[in-house]
Amino acid sequence: MLTAARIIQEALRTGKTALSEHDSKRLLSAYGLPVVRETLVRDPGKARAAAAELGYPVALKACDAGLTHKTEHGLVELDIAGAAQLDRATTRLRSRAPAGAGLLLQEMVPGRRELIVGLLRDPGLGPVVMLGLGGIFAEVLADVSFRLAPLTAADTADMANELAGSKLLGPVRGMPAVDREALAAWLIGIGEIGLQHPEIQQLDVNPLIVRDGQHAGQLVAVDALIVLAPEAVPGAETESVRHDRPTRITGPTARVRREQAPLPVARGSLEPLFAPRSIAVIGASATPGKAGYEVLRNLEAQGYTGTVHPVNPRGGEILGRRVIAAIADLPAGVDLAVIVLPASSTPQAVRELGRRGVKAVILAAGGFAEAGDSGLALQTELEQAIQEAGVRALGPNTAGHVSTPSRCATSFFSLGQVRRGPVSYIAQTGNFATHTLRYILTSEHFGVARVVGVGNKIDIDESEVLEYLAADPETQVICAYLESLRQPRRFLEAARAVTPHKPLVMLKGGATAAGAQAAAAHTAALATDDRVLDGVLRQAGVVRIHEYSQLITAAKGLASMPLPQGNRVGFAAPSGGMLVCLSDLCRRDLNLEVPELAETTRQRLQDLSPPLVRLRNPVDIWPAVSQHGLERAYGEATEALLGDPNTDAVVIILMLVEQTGFPCLEFLVELAGRQADKPLYVSCSGDQPLMAAAKAYLEPRGVPTFSRIEEPFRVLDIAWRCRQAQLRAGQEQPRSRATTRELQ
Amino acid sequence: MLTAARIIQEALRTGKTALSEHDSKRLLSAYGLPVVRETLVRDPGKARAAAAELGYPVALKACDAGLTHKTEHGLVELDIAGAAQLDRATTRLRSRAPAGAGLLLQEMVPGRRELIVGLLRDPGLGPVVMLGLGGIFAEVLADVSFRLAPLTAADTADMANELAGSKLLGPVRGMPAVDREALAAWLIGIGEIGLQHPEIQQLDVNPLIVRDGQHAGQLVAVDALIVLAPEAVPGAETESVRHDRPTRITGPTARVRREQAPLPVARGSLEPLFAPRSIAVIGASATPGKAGYEVLRNLEAQGYTGTVHPVNPRGGEILGRRVIAAIADLPAGVDLAVIVLPASSTPQAVRELGRRGVKAVILAAGGFAEAGDSGLALQTELEQAIQEAGVRALGPNTAGHVSTPSRCATSFFSLGQVRRGPVSYIAQTGNFATHTLRYILTSEHFGVARVVGVGNKIDIDESEVLEYLAADPETQVICAYLESLRQPRRFLEAARAVTPHKPLVMLKGGATAAGAQAAAAHTAALATDDRVLDGVLRQAGVVRIHEYSQLITAAKGLASMPLPQGNRVGFAAPSGGMLVCLSDLCRRDLNLEVPELAETTRQRLQDLSPPLVRLRNPVDIWPAVSQHGLERAYGEATEALLGDPNTDAVVIILMLVEQTGFPCLEFLVELAGRQADKPLYVSCSGDQPLMAAAKAYLEPRGVPTFSRIEEPFRVLDIAWRCRQAQLRAGQEQPRSRATTRELQ
């Protein structure tokens, strides 16, 4: 936009760091965005003439670049009804306004609803657009939503629907609905402005009035503020985060950074990590419990079929393998080296490995950037060594990785054999290659494909791993635990590409740590890292969760069952009380419906039950169990619920007690297989040993069980959100249960 | 108040069902509540004179009893600036207003913040007071809170703090804080009005303006509406609920019912139920699996020491006891009879038992009111039988009860021996005398005192049971699952009396089912059953939960550990990632703080750890475990955290894996005993069998464990809310751990 560029350049040329209200609105106008009618006036005479043209009542404001919080400073006069009042206002404002400020005369726009829209430029994310309810409630309730530019019309609809007070946008209290197309034009337009003008650091339209009266529902900007970056610093995208303060939002003094297009990474480049043909262990040890021993034992436990080279100056033999004394003695063509030396020796080892042509290294040692100043210096040295060596590097400060299709596990923590399966983990914690993986192996029955602890991300980071997993045929479900995003925009683009095909569930650690900046613009003040992240993750189809335990329960549900086609859940439990509580849960906390059943289904359930009890969804199964026994009652109910056209998913809560004995549960496996397009989740009530037995029987046969009766519903809600991400992307590609089963 | 009573009587005498705006405000004024200055005027001349006295700008409204939604009907003119404008407004309103309506001339009160306060009369609860944010946001966001009248000043402060937008009441955007004393006076005053005038059905003050300018922060009523009940129906308090629609809120057409003072129930009256010296089982059976057999077997399994009389016309012997052929043949002085006959035979049996002098009956049969019309008739017959017989009755439609101190269990579901302990359950579901109790017995280690399934509550209801448990020395923790309250006010009064001494945790089933009534007054429109219940339960010190599973996890935590003195939790986990997620959980979802430790504690933890890692709360225990082994690292950390003056509770997440072996966990038991004023909760990560072993070791020794790492924090949050209820009641009586341990 030529006009817009000219306005910005003129301001920068004269050393301004912000546009005046009038210039801000001129810029918006240049993009076709409706602003209030207004005129810059210099004296009372001009003001009167302009007011006569606009028609009373009018508003008068001081206007200058950098003037903010005008109301608080008494620089705004509203509802001026006539010429005499206008004269007085002109005199007052001229006496109060800073030297050189102009006066801005505006029409009063009738409207009881106020929105706020805005833009901020995050160094990692680039331009981010905000929508919120305006006025006093923007600040008090912080009811706002964010999306990355460029925005689609669907994004703008999502933003509106996410607001807690979204009802205010509909017809309410005799006022018509906000024109949704006009709102979309505003949000898309602001995103465009941000993309086209990297000098714009922050942009506020506050208030954006929803018109009453004529053109009711239309939107018009009454005040606007555009903050410029005096020096737009070009340069490569850098990590926008500190270790504990991720997705850093630009404060008022931050500089613009140019966003970098994602590096085109050849998938092959991570192959030495995930499918190494040979592995060297630098710092191998013969002492059980030591890291250099456990890595070797883990490789052995997986039945790794490539060549393994233990390296240790002492030589000898470990776990039946000859130890090589020095890196220099390694044969050529080693794909991957696991370095379990102390931090201080690691850079030198990397250099030597580079010389031997090793392609990738895993750096287990801690004590680098995460350990403060001394570690930072060491990490810089390590970075140089990696660049010199030309190797790909995972870590440092990583517990290692797992790649079951290659029978490979490089953790320094004794794992035993890791089950192969469709779930991959990207984690900014070592847990998924240590004790949490042990939990999964000893308590659950699903398997994993790739597990990567990204550690300090000196080279390989979550974005590149995500790109690898997107193309990885072994990976069907991706779970991520991340505390920061090294290349936020690249991660989101990778996520946007993968989520139409594979669910991506993410727990973001440190969600509450960061607050918003004190800032001239409201948008920046409202943009806490967490709120922005919430919006941009949803936009990319990432399903955000908030509990660590759900990284396991969700993985189980998603690994063994298809995603539901909708959110209607049929369920059965041996207790009216449970049915009531679980229905409450679906409606109160989750986005699940408990639908009416088709009449034929209802009748079938009715026939199963004593006549006095009227059966419906959810199904009180107790009377039928009393009459027909566990297997018949649950079997018929499960079949009926799964077969009903009104259900998208089924949850069965089994009653298992000594008194009635342990039933044959084959029917659940059989029915799940027959109705392969609907997820079937199971939970239990009753005797703990029988519940454990049901889990041990059902899970290896593909039917997931959950130990708390609320869990299947929480996981279904996650699964439905994954499915919605697919639907939003317009690509209906439900995974069939068969696919994931074949992998197990 | 004489004036108020006169205004009401005058309105009722002339057949009105509501007071006019002016009369409504006169009534408020009579209670010293500030209202806008206003005058009723009849003609333009009077209007001008009044306006001159009030000072422009003024507002003019049509005024008549029953006139509502005046703005929507064009019956309000605001911001009238002068005499000419006033004349036009007078003319317009007179042409639009209904015949006989007056005109109300008011000063315009400057104020940008609007509140809504109100009253509604619930047939079960009596007068309930509401506070909300006013204006458009009251309806859209429904940001309101409720309390039962009479209110204390502390109640009014709680109401204000509960609002999502409570910040609006503080100093905000250059506006001063709302005068909290004035707000308290309004809310307490409205409660008084409700208590003193049973004819008032609904009362709205909307808006209650927060003044700007002079007297900024003061509150003044600008509009008010009082709805009267044309016929105030005196009478006994009746059940205010249907089976599935509890705590019925008065709709606009409902009639006033006079609240009944709680019946003074002698504790002795439930003694035959909880401490029966002899029990008859009517419908005894020799067939295992049949209800009439299982009741006898449960009594035997408890080692019941009183006399048991099986009754069955077939005679013979069951489980070694001689069967009596008919009720008429029972010896005199039987305390309790468990009737397991079909519904249709139950009333007759009750009558016969009454004749034999039996004091209490348990009615197992279903098929009464819960089964529709046919059942309703049967229930009426049963009610008559109970009155005739003069017995106390539990049920019908109950799975029975448990009273471990009397070695008594009357469930028809095979339970085995029930562990004695400090937890009592009141349940509107049979689960706690059937499969959920089996879960507690087979999976958990805490014990129960009394369990009551109240069923259809034909006689004994939750309120009376709660009163019994309040005085019961065996009961230290009360958990309730209820779908309705039969005598809501009595229940809340009992709760208010018990919660300063014993925690009462309640899950209310059916929370989402009921919507608010369409109503003339906004207060009634905003008063969904659930919102009202939320407020009145909190007021009574009841801690409301929303998950069925927490009825078990919370019971476990509360049974074995003291309540925390504050909300500061120190914790340790073997993973930085877990620490981050759990800190997020504390801050985001729970009301728990993660405090800084005292420097001596921090230094002690630091000494335990490699120098590179800076230790603080929460504690990353992994490095110390690597260096010193599990027992020393966890032992020192637990002792340090428990001993720190900045912590009120401690959570330890153990890492248990095959590699490091199963540690001796005695230190946890020992440390918990030494620091008996702070709760210590444990969770685990790692190998499932070792986690089960830790549970099996720790829980019988009084240290509760939780299978998900989030659970100890969720339970601590519940415990802290229980403690807050005690603090609010101003009665600091923390239970010592010793007391509850002695009972186990």
Whole-angstrom distance, CA of residue B584 vs CA of residue B562: 25
Q: What is the mean pLDDT of chain B?
A: 90
Residue B521 shares a structural domain with residue B629: no
Residue A72 shares a structural domain with residue A130: no
Complex prediction ipTM: 0.92
Distances (CA, A) of B85 to A100, B34, B52, B78, B81: 40, 28, 13, 11, 7
A481–B112 C-beta distance less than 8 A: no
What is the CA angle A621-A626-A630, rounded to 5? 65
Which of chain A's residues have a Cβ under 8 Å away from the Cβ of B509? 577, 580-581, 584
Whole-angstrom distance, CA of residue A45 vs CA of residue A52: 11
Full DSSP string of B452-474 = EE-TT-SS--HHHHHHHHHH-TT
Whole-angstrom distance, CA of residue B690 vs CA of residue B655: 9
Task: Reduce the DSSP state of residue B627 to 3 states and report it.
Answer: helix
Task: Reduce the DSSP state of residue A296 to 3 states and report it.
Answer: helix
Which of chain A's residues have a Cβ under 8 Å away from the Cβ of B483? 577, 580
Residues 6+ apart with CB under 8 A from B4: B27, B30, B31, B193, B196, B197
Residue A72: its pLDDT value, please? 77
pLDDT digits (tens, 9 = 90+) for B307-347: 999 999 999 999 999 999 999 999 998 999 999 999 999 99
The DSSP letter of residue B244 is T
Q: What is the mean pLDDT of chain A?
A: 90
- Reported as a pLDDT band with limits 50, 70 and 90, residue B489 is very high
Residue B372: its pLDDT value, please? 81
Residue A522 shares a structural domain with residue A395: yes
Among B81, B108, B135, the domain boundary falls at B108
Lowest mean pLDDT among A625-634, B67-76, B231-240: B231-240
Report the residue of A136, A373, A579 to disrupt the B interface, i.e. the one with the largest count of B CBs within 10 Å.
A136
The DSSP letter of residue A593 is B
Residue B369 shares a structural domain with residue B433: yes
Does residue A100 surpass a pLDDT of 60?
A: yes
pLDDT digits (tens, 9 = 90+) for B273-309: 999 999 999 999 999 999 999 999 999 999 999 999 9
Q: What is the mean pLDDT of residues B415-440?
A: 97
Does residue A548 surpass a pLDDT of 60?
A: yes
CATH code, B700: 3.40.50.261
Which of chain A's residues have a Cβ under 8 Å away from the Cβ of B396? none
Highest mean pLDDT among A603-612, B105-114, B182-191: B182-191
**Amino acid symbol at A530:** D
Does residue B150 surpass a pLDDT of 90?
A: yes
B136–A173 C-beta distance less than 8 A: yes
Whole-angstrom distance, CA of residue A424 vs CA of residue B688: 21
What is the percent of chain B with per-residue pLDDT over 90, rounded to a whole number? 79
Does residue A255 surpass a pLDDT of 50?
A: no
Does residue B481 surpass a pLDDT of 70?
A: yes
Whole-angstrom distance, CA of residue B272 vs CA of residue A512: 54
Task: Identify whether the C-beta of residue A107 lies closer than 8 Å to the C-beta of residue A55.
Answer: yes
End-to-end CA gap in chain B = 56
Residues of A557-576 as b/e, b for ≥16 C-beta within 10 angstroms?
bbbbbbbbbbbbbbbbbbbb
Residue A85 shares a structural domain with residue A121: no
Q: What is the mean pLDDT of residues A390-412?
A: 97
Structure tokens at B581: 């997620």
What is the CA angle A284-A289-A291, rounded to 5? 40
Nearest to B509 among A165, A584, A691 (CB): A584
The nearest CA of chain A is from the CA of B730 a distance in Å of 32
Residue B352: its pLDDT value, please? 97
Q: Could you list the residue range(s) of the whole structural domain that residue A102 is in?
A: 37-107
A435–B685 C-beta distance less than 8 A: yes
Lowest mean pLDDT among A456-465, A551-560, B133-142, B580-589: B133-142
Residue A534 shares a structural domain with residue A589: no
Q: What is the mean pLDDT of residues A388-408?
A: 96
Among B200, B230, B260, the domain boundary falls at B230
H or E segment and range at residue B545: strand B543-545
Does residue A556 surpass a pLDDT of 60?
A: yes
Whole-angstrom distance, CA of residue A511 vs CA of residue B452: 43
**Which residue is closest to A514 within chain B, CA to CA?**
B584
End-to-end CA gap in chain A = 56
Three-state SS sequence of A108-162: CCCCCEEEEEEEEEECCCEEEEEEEECCHHHHHHCCEEEEECCCCHHHHHHHHHH
pLDDT digits (tens, 9 = 90+) for B216-251: 999 999 999 999 986 554 433 333 322 333 233 333
- Reported as a pLDDT band with limits 50, 70 and 90, residue B65 is confident
Does residue A520 surpass a pLDDT of 70?
A: no
**Amino acid symbol at A610:** P
* pTM greater than 0.90 (yes/no): yes
Structure tokens at B493: 């009064």
Nearest to A509 among B113, B509, B581 (CB): B581
What is the CA angle B183-B185-B188, rounded to 5? 105
Instruction: Say if A510 is an interface residue toward chain B (CB within 8 Å).
Output: yes
Highest mean pLDDT among A453-467, A514-528, B252-266: A453-467
Task: Reduce the DSSP state of residue A675 to 3 states and report it.
Answer: coil
Structure tokens at A408: 């490979």
- Reported as a pLDDT band with limits 50, 70 and 90, residue A500 is very high
- Reported as a pLDDT band with limits 50, 70 and 90, residue A73 is confident
Nearest to B584 among A168, A511, A581 (CB): A511
The nearest CA of chain A is from the CA of B33 a distance in Å of 27
**Which residue is closest to B444 within chain A, CA to CA?**
A688
Residue B535 shares a structural domain with residue B411: yes
Which of chain A's residues have a Cβ under 8 Å away from the Cβ of B298? none
Residue with tokens 């683009």: A493
B173–A576 C-beta distance less than 8 A: no
The nearest CA of chain B is from the CA of A88 a distance in Å of 17
* Extended strands (E) in A139-255: 144-148, 200-210, 219-221, 224-228, 232-233
Residues 6+ apart with CB under 8 A from B724: none
Residue A90: its pLDDT value, please? 93
What is the CA angle A594-A677-A621, rounded to 5? 40
Residue B194: its pLDDT value, please? 96
What is the CA angle A330-A335-A336, rounded to 5? 85
Task: Identify whether the C-beta of residue B522 lies closer than 8 Å to the C-beta of residue B117.
Answer: no
Q: How many domains does chain A have?
A: 4
Task: Reduce the DSSP state of residue A547 to 3 states and report it.
Answer: coil
Looking at per-residue pLDDT, the higher value among A123 and B692 belongs to B692
Report the residue of B657, B714, B715 to disrupt the A interface, i.e. the one with the largest count of A CBs within 10 Å.
B657
Residue B204: its pLDDT value, please? 95
Three-state SS sequence of B361-424: EEECCCCCHHHCHHHHHHHHHHHHHHHHHCCEEECCCCCCEEEHHHCEECCCCCCCCCCEEEEE
Task: Reduce the DSSP state of residue A522 to 3 states and report it.
Answer: helix
Does residue B438 surpass a pLDDT of 80?
A: yes
Residue B112: its pLDDT value, please? 87
**Amino acid symbol at B347:** P
Residue B79 lies in a domain: yes
Pairing between strand A680-686 and A649-656?
A: parallel
Residues of A498-531 as b/e, b for ≥16 C-beta within 10 angstroms?
bbbebbbbbbbbbbbbbebbebbbbbbbbbbbbb
Residue B409 lies in a domain: yes
Alpha carbon A680 to its chain centroid, in Å, reads 26
Nearest to A438 among B137, B372, B657 (CB): B657
A546–B588 C-beta distance less than 8 A: yes
Residue B263: its pLDDT value, please? 38
Residue A258 lies in a domain: no
CATH code, B156: 3.30.470.20
- Reported as a pLDDT band with limits 50, 70 and 90, residue A70 is confident
Report A:113-152 residues touching B (Cβ under 8 A): 113, 136-137, 139-141
At residue A63, what are phi and psi to the nearest 5 degrees? -140, 120
Whole-angstrom distance, CA of residue B70 vs CA of residue B21: 10
- Reported as a pLDDT band with limits 50, 70 and 90, residue B512 is low
A165–B366 C-beta distance less than 8 A: no
Does residue A136 surpass a pLDDT of 80?
A: no
pLDDT digits (tens, 9 = 90+) for B1-53: 679 999 999 999 999 999 999 999 999 999 999 999 999 998 889 999 999 99
Q: What is the mean pLDDT of residues B585-610?
A: 94
Structure tokens at A263: 């590096």
Among B79, B108, B137, the domain boundary falls at B108
**Which residue is closest to A692 within chain B, CA to CA?**
B443
Residue A397 shares a structural domain with residue A307: yes
Residue B51 lies in a domain: yes
At residue A728, what are phi and psi to the nearest 5 degrees? -60, -40
Residue A159 shares a structural domain with residue A60: no
Task: Identify whether the C-beta of residue A470 lies closer than 8 Å to the C-beta of residue A418.
Answer: no
Which of chain A's residues have a Cβ under 8 Å away from the Cβ of B431? 575, 577-578, 685
A575–B431 C-beta distance less than 8 A: yes
What is the percent of chain A with per-residue pLDDT over 90, rounded to a whole number? 79
3-state helix, strand, coil in chain A (%, to 5): 40, 20, 40
Residue B500 lies in a domain: yes
Structure tokens at A725: 């991400």
Residue A139: its pLDDT value, please? 73
The nearest CA of chain A is from the CA of B258 a distance in Å of 31
pLDDT digits (tens, 9 = 90+) for B638-682: 999 999 999 999 999 999 999 888 999 999 999 999 999 999 999
At residue B116, what are phi and psi to the nearest 5 degrees? -130, 130
B439–A510 C-beta distance less than 8 A: no
Residue B226: its pLDDT value, please? 96
Task: Reduce the DSSP state of residue A689 to 3 states and report it.
Answer: helix
Does residue B590 surpass a pLDDT of 70?
A: yes
Which residues, in sequence order, are bridge partners of residue B478?
B424, B504
Residue A738 lies in a domain: yes
Whole-angstrom distance, CA of residue A287 vs CA of residue A318: 9
Residue A505 shares a structural domain with residue A568: no
Nearest to A339 by CA among A289, A396, A379, A406: A396
pLDDT digits (tens, 9 = 90+) for A706-724: 999 999 999 999 999 999 9
The DSSP letter of residue A304 is -
Residue B232: its pLDDT value, please? 52
Does residue B715 surpass a pLDDT of 80?
A: yes
Report B:567-586 residues touching A (Cβ under 8 A): 574-578, 580-585
Residue B330: its pLDDT value, please? 97
pLDDT digits (tens, 9 = 90+) for A727-740: 988 743 434 443 43
Residue A275 lies in a domain: yes
H or E segment and range at residue B186: helix B180-196
A371–B547 C-beta distance less than 8 A: no
The nearest CA of chain B is from the CA of A477 a distance in Å of 21
Residue B236 lies in a domain: no
Distances (CA, A) of B207 to A25, A141, A541, B193, B519: 35, 20, 43, 18, 17
CATH code, A42: 3.30.1490.20
Residue B476 shares a structural domain with residue B356: yes
Nearest to A581 among B509, B576, B588 (CB): B509
Residue A464 shares a structural domain with residue A597: no
The nearest CA of chain B is from the CA of A180 a distance in Å of 19
**Amino acid symbol at A663:** P
